[in-house]
Amino acid sequence: MLNRHARGFFTALFSPFARWLLKIGVSPDAVTVVGTLGVVVGSLVFYPLGQLFWGTLFITAFIFSDVIDGIMARMQHRGGRWGNFLDSTLDRVADGSLFAGLAVWFFTGGANPPIAIAAVVCLVLGMVVSYARAKAEALGFHANVGIAERAERLVSVLVVTGLTGLGLPAVVLFATLCLLAAASLITVIQRIVTVHRQSLAEPEGTATEQPA
Q: Which of 31, 42, 24 is nearest to 78 (CA)?
A: 31
Q: What is the C-alpha separation between 103 and 94, in angstroms, rounded?
A: 14
Angstrom CA distances, 87 to 5, 16, 35, 95, 165, stand at 21, 21, 10, 12, 29
Choice among 66, 69, 87, 91 that is catalytic: 91
Q: How far apart are CA 95 and CA 146, in angstroms?
A: 18
CB atoms within 10 A of CB 67: 20
Catalytic status, residue 29:
no
Distant-in-sequence, close-in-space partners of 159: CB < 8 Å, separation ≥ 6 = none
Q: Which residues are catalytic?
A: 91
